[in-house]
Each structure stands twice: as C-alpha cells, then as structure tokens.
Amino acid sequence: MFGFIKKAFGKSEKDESQPKRESVDKNELEELLLEADVNYELIESILEQLPQMVTRVQLYNSLIAIFDYKANWIYPDSNKPFVEMIIGVNGAGKTTTISKLAYKYKEDGKRVMLGAGDTFRAAAIEQLSLWAKRLDIPIVATRQGHDPSAVVFDTIKSALAKDIDNVIIDTAGRLHTQVNLSEELKKMVRIANKALEGAPHRKLLILDGTQGSSTINQAKAFNEMIGIDGIIITKLDGTAKGGAILSIANELKMPIYYIGIGEQPKDLIKFDVKSYINSILDEIYGK
C-alpha cells in the first residue's frame, strides 16, 4: 500500500535482507527523515524528546503523536446529494482524482454526477467528460469561458432532480495569488449553498505529493480563502518525498482522506495513519 515509502527512505539502494534493528542512532534518523523531505523543524521537535539510541516503539509513539489533533471529519452519508468541490493548483491531479473518487463511490453502489466547473480550459471539460463516459456517469458541462458558478448551480439542481447520491465538482487550477480567480472560487462556494443549503459539504484540496513540503503554503492559503475540509495527496507512486505527509499533517492539522498511488481509477486508497507510520518504521528498523 505504501510502496512509495521505499523511495522516500532510499530502500532501493539498500540490502532488502538486512536484519531487524532494535534501535537507531538519532543522527542517522535525522538524516533519513531529511532525505524523505520531512520539515527540518519537525525533525528537531521529534528528536529532542528521544534518547540517543531510538527504539521502534519510541519512534512510533513520536510519529503517531503528530496526527493527534482534532480533525473535523466529514462523511458522504451525512447529506444527499453529498456535494464535494475539488480544489488545487494546475497539475496537482484534480481531474484524475475526481475520476478515482467517482469510481470509488460507484463501486460502493452510489449514484454519481460530475460538474465540469473548470471552464477556463476546454481540455479540462473534455477530459472530465471523457472520464464520465468511461465510468458511465452523468456530467453537467458547458463550453469554455462559461460562468463556472452557473455550472455549480446547474449540477446541484440536476442532482437533486435525479436523486443522485454524490456530486463532484471540478474547479479551475488556480494559484492562490490570482485574486480574480480566488474571488471566483468564493463565488462558486456561495452559489453551491444557494442551490442546496450547506453545499459544498466537503471542499477537498488536492496536493501534489511530488512537491513535498512546498505544498504546505499552498494549502494554508486556500484554507484561509474558503476553508478546506480535507486533503488528498496525489502522485505518491512517483516520489521520494513520502515523509512530507508528516509535515503536512503537523502544519495543517486537517484530515488526509486519501492518497493517490497510480493513474488508474482504483489507485486511490484511504489514508491509514498507523499503516503509514509502520511502513516508515519497517524501512528504518526492518520488518
């Protein structure tokens, strides 16, 4: 499940048959965590509480404590239709993630509808429409340059009329520094609430796992702008920065719902904290 951890800790360059280690020196731990793109200040915070020789149990307790925060988890069964808005910068993998979410919901027996809210790029509309066709689910789409808030409104109203369970709305890949696009994103959120009170029920930020800790400032900006309800981290199959999840959790203190580990619709898995940390420990201490 967490095969990318091997890359993060340089496992491909190590002897896979190395024996288990009872403890690891703090200096080596620091080096390993830095290589995996864990934020330096976080590493210092982790290590200052630990002895010079660190056991697996001691490091497990330190890492699991990073995730010990009150997160406001929001679940799809709480509303019908359950409306999600997918947000993030260009190239983060929003469209692919939408297809994966839609596939997951459909596999769970839910009726799904997509909304092509990224009207800035014709390619985005075409790509999402293609996924809708492949997955055999309805989509509300319009032409390039059309008002994205109108797409949001029409998608939700159509979902209400057709007894849809899950609505997933795409948004343009906007940088948080682009004021006009930021204002438009806020408008899309307002219009969603007009179409259905309480919508969007979950605003998910897509973070590119290959960017490591640099995504944290992105996330903070989007959260200040419209309030992010949770995170999906993509492209972790192609990165050596798997340790950045620790930094993201420590800085943002919000739910990490899923991680993307491939291009296929099934390659979206629920993020399990204990499995993630044990994968890290397996690479450091041996299985």
Q: 76-280 has which fold?
A: Rossmann fold (3.40.50)
**Residue segments in the chain with a per-residue pLDDT below the cut of 70:** 1-18, 175-177, 213, 238-241
pLDDT digits (tens, 9 = 90+) for 132-144: 999 999 999 999 9
**For residue 166, what pLDDT is reported?**
98
Which pTM does this prediction carry?
A: 0.91
Cα 169 to chain centroid distance, Å, stands at: 15
Q: Where are the domains of the chain?
A: 76-280
pLDDT value, residue 3? 64
Q: What is the pLDDT of residue 7?
A: 59
pLDDT tens string 114-164: 999 999 888 999 999 999 999 999 999 999 989 999 999 999 999 999 999
Q: What is the pLDDT of residue 240?
A: 61
Mapping DSSP onto H, E and C, the string for the chain reads: CCCHHHHHCCHHHCCCCCCCCCEEEHHHHHHHHHHCCCCHHHHHHHHCCCCCEEEHHHHHHHHHHHHCCCCCCCCHHHCCCEEEEEECCCCCCHHHHHHHHHHHHHHCCCCEEEECCCCCCHHHHHHHHHHHHHHCCCEECCCCCCCHHHHHHHHHHHHHHCCCCEEEEECCCCCCCCHHHHHHHHHHHHHHHHHCCCCCCEEEEEEEHHHHHHHHHHHHHHHHHHCCCEEEEECHHHCCCCCHHHHHHHHHCCCEEEEECCCCCCCEEECCHHHHHHHHHHHHHCC
pLDDT of res. 4: 62
Q: Which amino acid is at 23?
A: S
pLDDT of residue 239: 64
